[in-house]
Amino acid sequence: MKLPIEMILLVTLFVIVYATPRYLLPQVLNTDVPLAVVESGSMEPTIHAGDLLVVVGYNPADIVEKDIIVFRASFLNGSLTVHMVISKGEEEGKIYYWTKGEANVFPDPRIYKGRYSVVETEVHGVVACRIPLVGYLSLLVLRYFGIKFGLLLLPLLILSFKKSLTRRGHF
């Protein structure tokens, strides 16, 4: 049985859209969070809600003041956060950072050693670049349709290709 071009394109698209961010980019960019979508305006005017960020893994010792880092914020129940480093220190063999959202009035809470908001193990990487507006689609799908929308999309695509195959006499 010869596969129709639509099925080949669907599989190719799935591999590109699904596998690249999950498997290829983490290896290439040396981080488990290679892409991040900005959900708030805490880093405006530098980074805006809806921007897609490309994140690269970085040696914690090489991160300096003014670097924009992506980290799991203990002070926000482990949510992924993008803020700027305003100070850095090393104590007992660990590197700590004090961070702040550029648009926020106050820096992040100092929960470590009374001086820092983030410890090196919470950092996923440094923002390498931003792609304006690209993240809005992902925000729209997650906020208004929820994760179930993505789960519904795959069966709908499969059904549409089955219909296409049926019309061509393959079923």
Domains present along the chain, CATH in parentheses: 33-134 (2.10.109.10)
Give Cα separations from 116 to 60, 85, 91, 122 (angstroms). 14, 10, 11, 12
Structural tokens at position 16: 């590109």
Label the pairing between strands 79-91 and 118-119.
unpaired
Annotated catalytic residue, options 51, 108, 117, 124: 108
87 annotated active-site: no
Question: How sure is the predictor about 171, in pLDDT bands with cuts at 50, 70 and 90?
Answer: very low
83 is catalytic: yes
Task: Out of 51, 83, 117, 124, pick the active-site residue.
Answer: 83
Which amino acid makes up residue 167?
Answer: R
pTM listed for this prediction? 0.73
Chain segment 61-85, per-residue pLDDT in tens: 999 999 999 999 888 888 899 999 9
- pLDDT higher than 70, residue 167: no
Give per-residue pLDDT as tens, 109-156: 998 888 899 999 999 999 999 988 887 777 666 665 555 555 555 555
Active-site hit among 42, 51, 117, 124 = 42
Torsion of Cα atoms, 76 then 79 then 83 then 87, to 10°: 60
Looking at residue 61, its pLDDT comes to 93
